[in-house]
Chains A and B, each alone.
Chain A
Amino acid sequence: MPREKFHTLTEQMFYILLVLREECYGMDIMMQIQLMTNERVIVGPGTLYNLLEQFEQAQMIKETKIEGRKRSYIITALGLEALQREYHRLNRMIYDYESHT
């Protein structure tokens, strides 16, 4: 089940979906994540390719256009739902941490 597969997101999955709230070309996703996280999070080209393929299969992102060999993607409602679920999970963790320290 795709939803079960991405029930929680890794850091790299989270940032890819975050970047794809706006239409973006594959390689630009890598650059934007580096900029966004000040190079704290790095997504390698193999990992990026695999995650985009899996997100697309899970209908969490969709292809928007193909220019030559370049493909652009954007997040779908399913992807946004996963992103928000992860955001709430992280918030819950922060809340738990703060209330116990």
Chain B
Amino acid sequence: MKRDRKRRIESFRFNDFEAIEAHLNKMAQKGWHIEKITPFYWQYKRIDPVDRHYTITYFAQASDFSPYPSSNQEMFYDYCNECGYQLAVTWAQMQIFYTDSEDAIPIETDEALKLNSIHHAMKKNFLPSTVVLIVLAIFQILMQVSSIIRMPIMQLSNNVYLSVIFAWSIVGISGGISLVSYFKWWRDSKKATSIGGTCLPTKGHRHLNLVLLLLSLGVLLWMLMTLYEDQLIWIGIASVGQITMVIFGVNFVKNKLKAAGVSRKTNMTVTVISAIVLSFIMMGLLTTFVFKLVDYHRAHQSTAVERTFSSPNGTKHTWYVHDDPMPLIVEQFKAIDFPDYSYEAQDNNSILLRWRQYDQRDYTFNPDIPTMYYEIIDVKFDWLFDYCLNYYLQQYVDDYAVEEGFKTNRYREIDASLWQADVAYQLYYGDEPSETFLFCKGNRIVKIGYDWMPTEAEMTFSSEQLLNE
């Protein structure tokens, strides 16, 4: 049975009227007439294939929040009807008319006026919303970049984090292309119409739009796959669900108020308030969900056990004690049999970095029990290596202490042969050597902190375990 209606995701820009007209003409030839435009899809109704001509005009006073067309809009529709045009659908200020007549008078017969009314309509909706989107994207990208500068290893080894930057970059680029191409078209058309010419053809960048759409879907998929690998797929699904719910909810409120005949201003105010309230509620729900999921995830990890320990001062604390596999443990250096160790491992792997953290802890905080902490960083691109190494080398530098001449922590280069490495460093507090070391081989950086000063043999053994791991 043939479907009477079909829905399509279209990638047209709001100002690309020529491409939309051509597309709708083609759809009518295939037997589909545009019936409805929503934020998610365009809906078409089956008709007999026909050579139908669609014309788009922009009516600046029209609003998506008005319950019905204004008297001026109705008058405009009447003029168009009397010239043989029927209104197919509206999309904010965009009014899509059609006619089956071959020799219908064009709706716009003065190019300068046409340009003026298009620009007037664009200033009302398309331009401010695009500017807001670009500003938001730039703000988000700057936030993420500043976070990378503060915590490069943590952020660059996280695919979810990187995919968020990609996603906002796509939003910013897409908005920037829209804005630049619109202003270029408007400026060139203004020049042309001022000397009696016509508005220039709009360059819709439809293929570019499609590429950006596919890239966005790719980034979303990448984000979901990463979350899936980290067993946190529900966070991804909940985030997508949250955004969808907010858009659905806000549209639902707007459409219900429209149907109830509520005025444009009231509708706009209530819709904006509902968008803010709904966003906060959904964000709160999502945050609660994420915390609960992370808690659940931690509690149900096969190696995590909840245990209560007494600290040396007698206070009791409950900790999750892990038994994760570690490539190097204290017991390989010391003859110690301590059953309460927590062996904690974390593995973050992105397209740029792999960052593994290992921590052998003692939650009884007994000063006689030795502990150990180390990190292994595999930098996947040569150009990123120096940046990562520098981060570690500068990690403990306190500019204020240096300026004031106080003692400060600083790495000093040491003999790398002990570590069988290309380069090695030891952390010093002033002139006092500490038990923290940094060494690199190839594209691998290892940072290790012992609870005791290791012997040369222990250093060599550690590097054998961690550089070849």
Contacts and interface: CB of A to CB of B under 8 A. Distances in A.
Interface of A: 10, 12, 26-27, 30, 42-51, 53, 69-71
Given A69-B71, A69-B74, A45 B79 contact: yes
Top-3 shortest CB links A-B? A45-B79, A44-B109, A46-B107
B82 interface: yes
Contact of A71 (B57, B75, B107, B109): B75
B117 interface: yes
Which of B57, B82, B113 has the most chain A CB within a 10 Å cutoff?
A: B113
Interface in B81-129: 82-83, 85, 105-110, 112-114, 116-117
B41 to A, nearest CB: 28
Nearest to A29: B79
Contacts of A27: 78-79, 82
A50 B113 CA distance: 7
Contacts of A43: 109
Which of B108, B110, B112 has the most chain A CB within a 10 Å cutoff?
A: B110
B75 A44 contact: no
Contacts of A46: 57, 76, 79-80, 107-109, 114, 117
Contacts of B74: 69
A50 B76 CA distance: 9
Nearest to B113: A50
A44 B76 contact: no
Nearest to B81: A45
Given A44-B83, A46-B114, A49-B75, 6 more contacts: A10-B112, A12-B110, A46-B80, A47-B110, A48-B79, A50-B116
A5 to B, nearest CB: 11
A42 B104 CA distance: 11
30 contacts: A10-B110, A10-B112, A12-B109, A12-B110, A26-B75, A26-B79, A27-B79, A30-B82, A30-B83, A42-B105, A43-B109, A44-B106, A44-B107, A44-B108, A44-B109, A44-B110, A45-B85, A46-B109, A46-B117, A47-B108, A47-B113, A49-B72, A49-B75, A49-B79, A50-B110, A50-B113, A51-B110, A53-B72, A69-B74, A69-B75
A44 B83 CA distance: 8
Contacts of B78: 26-27, 69-70
Interface string B226-268: 0000000000000000000000000000000000000000000
Nearest to B82: A27
B96 to A, nearest CB: 13
Contacts of B114: 46-47
B82 A50 contact: no
A45 B110 contact: no
A60 B225 CA distance: 65
A24 B109 CA distance: 20
Interface in B39-68: 57
A64 B106 CA distance: 28
Nearest to B80: A45
Nearest to A39: B105
A45 to B, nearest CB: 3
Contact of B109 (A47, A53, A69, A70): A47
B122 to A, nearest CB: 15
A86 B30 CA distance: 49
Which of B57, B82, B109 has the most chain A CB within a 10 Å cutoff?
A: B109
Contacts of A70: 78
Contacts of A26: 75, 78-79
A50 B118 CA distance: 12
Given A27-B82, A69-B71, A45 B76 contact: yes
Nearest to A34: B105
Nearest to B74: A69
A69 B273 CA distance: 35
A49 B57 CA distance: 12
